[in-house]
Structure 1
């Protein structure tokens, strides 16, 4: 087993290695932060399928589902194993830690590593539901963020882009130099061209979510009352041009339209429902790639402090609504809104005021930069309280067995 001392090496917000002990402690901390716990006998509990279970909102959905709703079932992600001097991806280590929590809680959760867009994975999941979980699926959470998707029918590979629609967008964003000194920098992103919108919708819209439902329904695996949720984001007017009104926003609109179609169909066939869950802001590996989001999130934390609602608490609320522990009240577009704390008028007014005042010289007093930088490092298992980073750690952590 390979053991070594790991130090954070990175290029911007992208880290080259991940820390196994830090990732494990992070998952344990999420478990502790999730309120309440389901009291169900071992071997019981609803059967759930979580897509994109190793990172961000999908990880929060998995941890909250285990603790709050007592789920069992299948979690799917796509991660890289340790190789030579490189560690595994952070999601690999987080998955191993989540599997440990599931076992300790007496929950039968199977972790699969592979391409969620492929029909091979859909077949593998369907067979597991049939053979291991009694042929009935109760819930599906779809949280897949990927740069590319290959259509299994045509073999065409689509690539998503982060671009505004109609005209170029100029915004401020937050960067850090090698010494961690912050800079507020103006960046311009050119508009979508050609089939950029269609390509992004093909990757990040509702096509694969609907394909999963088709596949599982075709094999008779959707239980009576089956419910499914796909994850979405609206965000602030400050970031709307590059996000909600851009190519990613077009994909989210397609996702939400898909939810309405699926909701009508599931209600008719199994008495079920489909919704999108609009979550609040968080520092994730996906969000740090969006121009302006780093600055916005740091300023939001500067306004709200500890009143920011972490993803695992957001998903405790979502699971309560999906399982009937709390009323499920969608908005007029059929969306479950978990972002009210972020988009409250007074909060957005305060963030907008700080946004206008933010420069390289003033940003440290307006945004919680220490918190933001630590959150980025924690995505890779660094800067997690309670971890001894001077100690050697085993990096050859195996993928959870069945």
Structure 2
């Protein structure tokens, strides 16, 4: 059937299977044209594997390091005339391409926060791979809510400032212009909830479960993805509720490194570049900053999308030939190094006060931002004829479990 994008707020409620497939294959072609990563991991568990950095990580480790991968993801299958989620179509496309290349790839569908999915994933690892085998765990889970597996309590994350209200601008993706927004400060409960959803507790629960099950290999490396950003966005990000969650994530990495030390393991935070994601599209000021940084970094030949960023992470930081992981003074892998260059940030500082609806198209890469937003859901992908019908009900070849 013919599928059109339906935008509701900062989310698209439809997805285009042909476009999602083309987007995945484009990323695979990119990494296939890069040097291989022979020192890369061989058995990779990805928690949050169906979009953005998680999907890109799966593509890089599979097609550049020839790794076997198990990806845990949520999303939903098609139902009636309702399309599946983009993550569903992405996963189906990845698995099909991986299998055609002779690579092991299976996917676990369900609530990654639950004990059930953790145990089902461990059972799959033991069944297919055995014990002491997982040499890389990538935690790239993005969610706005979490039900605690032990207490049953429901936590809802919010993107709010702390102590002071925030007044600023955001992007209306549908109309391509700026909107004024005002966000009241978070309550103590909202801050706590956001940390419980986006912080490091679930990452630690995964590692603890994998350790207890004896499926982690000697020298295991686990990585969670984060963001810091410039002073310009700190009131809504670094000093906001999400910043508190990311702080907890960083603290968790240090705790996990101690827990993994008996088997020579390490836990890292990779601070990545600002990119268009479903999460970033919902954060006021950050969305405008991204459209501006895209223009500046493209002009300076420094721009990276998810796949380029994750290839550089694996080839130049995590799995270098000399086996040395490059980190900063706080022990973080800084993949935002090009974004935070002095000349790039100076350009942002110079342009930012001038932005308005009359000049935003000229001073930022609003067109690129909007195109990347639509591509998240399989729309506006180059080479796809959207006047042709596409499949809605698409099967994932090796779906290990389906849970609503």
TM-score normalised to structure 2 length: 0.93
- Per-residue displacement from partner, 1:332-387 (whole Å, max 9, x unpaired)? 21111101111111111111222110011111110112111111111111110111
User: 2:55 pairs with 56, 59, 67, which one?
Assistant: 59
Measured after TM superposition, the shift of residue 191 of structure 1 is 0.7
User: 1:312 pairs with 280, 300, 307, which one?
Assistant: 307
Q: After superposition, where does 1:27-46 map in structure 2 within 5 Å? A: 27-34=24-31, 36=34, 38=36, 46=42
Q: After superposition, where does 1:187-198 map in structure 2 within 5 Å? A: 187-198=181-192
Unpaired runs of at least 5, structure 1: none
Measured after TM superposition, the shift of residue 194 of structure 1 is 2.8
1:287 aligns with 280
1:89 aligns with 85
Unpaired runs of at least 5, structure 2: 400-404
Q: After superposition, where does 1:1-400 map in structure 2 within 5 Å? A: 4-34=1-31, 36=34, 38=36, 46-135=42-131, 136-177=133-174, 180=175, 182-267=176-261, 269-305=262-298, 307-320=302-315, 321-325=317-321, 327-400=324-397
C-alpha RMSD over aligned residues: 1.7
**Distance in 1, Cα, partners of 2:65 & 2:318:** 9
**Distance in 2, Cα, partners of 1:93 & 1:126:** 24
Measured after TM superposition, the shift of residue 39 of structure 1 is 7.8
**Distance in 1, Cα, partners of 2:396 & 2:101:** 19
**Distance in 2, Cα, partners of 1:243 & 1:311:** 20
Is the Cα contact below 8 Å between 1:46 and 1:138 reproduced in 2? yes
**Distance in 1, Cα, partners of 2:255 & 2:73:** 26
Is the Cα contact below 8 Å between 2:170 and 2:283 reproduced in 1? no
**Distance in 2, Cα, partners of 1:264 & 1:75:** 25
TM-score normalised to structure 1 length: 0.94
- What is the number of residues matched between the two proteins? 392
